[in-house]
Structure formats: structure tokens, C-alpha cells
Amino acid sequence: MRATVVAAAVVLAASVPATASAATPECTGLAGVRIPASVISLPTSGGLVTAASVTGESCRVDADLYPVDPAAPAIKLRVALPRVWNHKALMFGGGGYNGTIPDVAANVPFGPADRPAPLARGYATFASDSGHQQNPASPPSLDGSFGTNDEALVNFAAGDALKKTRDASLFLIRRAYGATPAEVFFAGGSTGGREALVVAQRWPAAFDGVISAYPAWNNLAEILDLGYLAQVLSRPGAFPGPAKQTLVYDSVIRACDGRDGVTDGVVSNPGCRFDPRLLRCPGGADTGPSCLSDAQIGAVTAMSSPFRWPYRIASGETQYPGFPFLSGADMRTPFLGFGTTAPAAPMPVTSGYGMQYWDQWVKYFLTRDPGRNGLDIDPRRPGEWLGRISALSLVEDRNNADLRPFARAGGKLILLHGAADELVSPYSTSDYYSRVRSVAGPSLTDAFLRYYVVPGANHASFGTPAFAAGWDSLSALERWVDTGRAPADQVVTDLAHQRTRPLCAYPGWPRYRGGDPAAAASFACVR
């Protein structure tokens, strides 16, 4: 929606009674309000506000959306209504297998440290658990047990819960303020980044602007790669422990860091790739932490290489491009990468996040047998499970990169990824961007989409990354939606090291040209 619509909403807000003012929401009176199924565009049994209370400068509203299948769990959602509303709304995406409601008072992914979060800016914010509740005994975002129910699976994997949550939340926002939001945005990273692309594709007029960070958009394709890597890392002697993971990371940094013109701990030149055979132990045997055995070299190479499966699946996907471990991916965060122990049966919680994700998927999505050992399924030769994999690909990898309806509806998309991501491959996001550009054409793509790869940034700024990215993407998106002025000459801040870099539109990257190496002005975007 354009700025004229914002102005119209302000006029509407001024006309409503004081008891339902657009500046001060009705709060406690929302408790017990029923949400009609008719206000939700996808099938539900309606919903109910289970709680509403004033929390600081906002009203927190919790609600349940009831399923069609009585055996399916409800969608639990939360809406935060600021006391002073800016007539806009923003939905947050989730992470991993979801199962909990994201923090509606949080910032957007890779958000700035010097600007308020959306709720504090006056946005009405909302989110949901995507239609299932995580077992508290499971590691965060790693409970896939809901996948045994078809409605719950589609709510999560196909994104149906996103539109249901959006429709119900806007109903509550209208009920609270007596006005409809002039603009609605979406922001998410990882699974939430995939969800951001899902809403742009499936419901092109539902959101005016979308921020998609490190998106796991081709979820099933990545899962197949993770399953293959779980088998590789479980082989005798193949797993490189944390000391060897650090050895590889440090070696990559030494080899690639200076190729962008400055030695600063950040690999910016995307063309550098380290050869792990340079770390080979004498004779190829494991002789200690200062070298890699042949089996470990094979494992590191597999993690960093494309995985292709020799069969057709319904989505048309044929590969996953691998991870940038030999190009600067952050191996100092084992939980998101290799893990601290090798995959095994049962799958240890100390194995890598992706290996645990695969194990849950095999148990509850693929075989629907909780007793199944994930290492028993070979993604290269799935045998009796090929048909199920193909069917799931239509649910989990339904992003076809045709965002032309979203663009024609006036939608704007900011796509972000860290070049050092150890859990979701930036190569995959670059592939998605290329597909969008191929479908929509360069001119239309440039009119609605900006894609940035941030050197040194890892997955969700986990741990202490080489570059802890912070950028006010929300303000950039607002300007683009309101005025048509696309982001240009943007600067990203390293929140951990007090330095800045130019934010280069893909395929550009920042090269040092002289001056203060902590200042963005000392770098130029090159290709």
C-alpha cells in the first residue's frame, strides 16, 4: 500500500470513538473474544482469545485458532498492540521446527542496535507457533513430532498457519483499534526466512513488504543433504572434533582473509576456497589435533560440496549446493555445524543441529515411526521411501521463485544472508535469487527485490561471529514501500567489533581501497 493509504488510515482512526481509538487499543475487553472462521481465508474452526493484558506500553493478546481435524493441535498466536500505534503491523516468522511463539517485542533479523524494535516503533506485531507446541523436553526448535498429523504438517511445512495467523491477527487489530493497518510487513530468518518467501509467493497481496534473512527456502532439499552428511560424519574416524573444526576455520581465514585487500578476520572475496588436503596428516591417519585424516578430509569436503540425488522428485529439485566451510563459514559454532560429537543412533543432542533436524524429519515426516533410526535411511537410495520424499517435496519445497504477482501488487522484498552461515547455505539463497531473476527478468526484479550477502556474518549472529551484522532493514523497507525509493548506499554495522562495511547488492562484495579499515567509506563494492 502506498503513503496515500497511510493517510487514509489516519483519517479513519481519527473518526472512531475514543473507546476504540487508533492511538490507544482496547485491551482487557478482548479476553474471550471469538475469532470467526469466516475472517480466515483458509479452513479453520475459528478461534478464541485466551488472554489479554497490559504489559508495559502495549497490550498482549493470546489466542488459539482451532483446527479442522480434531486430532490436530491448535495454532497459538500472540498479538502485541502498542499504546501509540503507527497504523502498521508486522508479523514475525519462526525458526527450526517452530513450536513456540516468537518474541513479538524482538527486532528483525540482523536488526540494528541503535534503533527501537518494531513494537517500540509503534508497530502492532504478531506471530504464532505455526500450529503445534514443542515438547519442553526437546532441544529448542528441534521437535518434529507434530509431523505425524497431516493438518499440522501442512500448517508448518506449506505455510498455511502463516495466512491463518495473519488473518486472525488483523481481525484482532481491527477490533482493538477500530481501524485496519495501512501496511503489513513480514520479517523472519531461517525457517522464518522461508516463511517470508512463502507469504510473498502464495499470498502476494497479503503483505506490503517482506524481510527474508538466511532463508531455508528449499527445506526438503537441504534435509536430504543433511541426511547424507549425517551418514558421512557417522563413519568410523570421519568426524572432525571441535579442535579440528577450529583448525580448518583458522586455516581458511589465513588463506582467504587478505584477498579482499585487508586482514581483518572477515573473508569478503567470495572466490576464495581453501583446499583441506593441505592439512593432511602424514600417511592420512589421524595423528592428532594439528592435522586431518583422509576420512576427515572427506567429511569436510562433503560438507562443503553440492549434494545431488540420482532420482526425480515432484518439486523438480535436484541438489543442495553445500555449505561454505572452506570459504569462511563459522566453524567455531559446532552446534549449528558439525556438532561436538558424531551422529549416532539414537541421535545425540551434541551432534550438529542439522543432523538432529534430519533425524526428527525421518521419524515424524518421512516414516512417521518414532522408533526409526535416521541413519538407516540413505538419501541417495531411499528405496521404499522415494514416493513419500517426492510427495513431501511438494509441501516443503513449493517455492517456485515466481514472485511476479507479489511485485505487481506493489510488494517489496529485502533478502539477506551471511556469507559465513554454517546452517543454511548462502549459495542456496543466491540460487533462489537467480531463479527469481530468471523468471521475472532483470528489470522487474530490480524494481521489487534487493539481495545482500554479508561477509563474515553467520547464522542468526549465533555465538561471536566474525561480523555481527546490524542493519536497519525495516526503515529501508518502509521508505521503499511508502515512497518507492529503493535501498541504495546502505551501510551494515558489526555490532561486536564497532566497525562498518558497505552493504553490497549481490553479487557485489566489499573490497578495501584505503583509509580506516573500520569505516565503510574505506571499501568499495566490486564484482
> Which residues are part of the catalytic machinery?
190, 421, 459
Contact 173, 88 (CB under 8 A): no
Hey, what's the torsion of the CAs at 94, 413, 508, 330, to 10 degrees?
A: 0
Residue 130 pairs in a beta bridge with none
Residues with Cβ within 8 Å of residue 286, at least 6 apart in sequence: 237, 292, 293, 295, 296
Scan for cell 501496511, then name that residue: 183
- Phi, psi torsion values for 312, nearest 5 degrees: -95, 140
| Calpha distance 369→254 (Å, rounded) | 46
Scan for cell 495473519, then name that residue: 166
Q: Which SS3 state, helix, strand or coil, does residue 60 take?
A: strand
- Grid cell for residue 239: 568426524
- Phi, psi torsion values for 451, nearest 5 degrees: -125, 130
| Calpha distance 343→465 (Å, rounded) | 25
- Phi, psi torsion values for 136, nearest 5 degrees: -60, -20
Contact 12, 136 (CB under 8 A): no
**How far, CA to CA in Å, does 53 sit from each of 49, 100, 124, 445?**
11, 20, 15, 43
- Phi, psi torsion values for 125, nearest 5 degrees: -115, 150
Q: At what angle do helices 219-234 and 294-303 cross, to 10 degrees?
A: 180
- Grid cell for residue 344: 549416532
Scan for cell 500472540, then name that residue: 78
Which of 117-153 are b and which e, b meaning 16 or more Cβ less than 10 Å from the residue's Cβ? bbbebbbbbbbbbbbbbbeeebeebbbbbbbbbebbb
| Calpha distance 391→319 (Å, rounded) | 17
Burial class (CB in 10 A: 0-12, 13-18, 19+), 19: exposed
- Phi, psi torsion values for 252, nearest 5 degrees: -65, -45
Q: What 8-state DSSP symbol labels residue 96?
A: T
User: Could you write out the three-class secondary structure of 3-71?
Assistant: HHHHHHHHHHHHHCCHHHCCCCCCCHHHCCCEECHHHCCCCCCCEEEEEEEEECCEEEEEEEECCCCCC
| Calpha distance 100→156 (Å, rounded) | 12
| Calpha distance 448→410 (Å, rounded) | 8
| Calpha distance 255→250 (Å, rounded) | 9
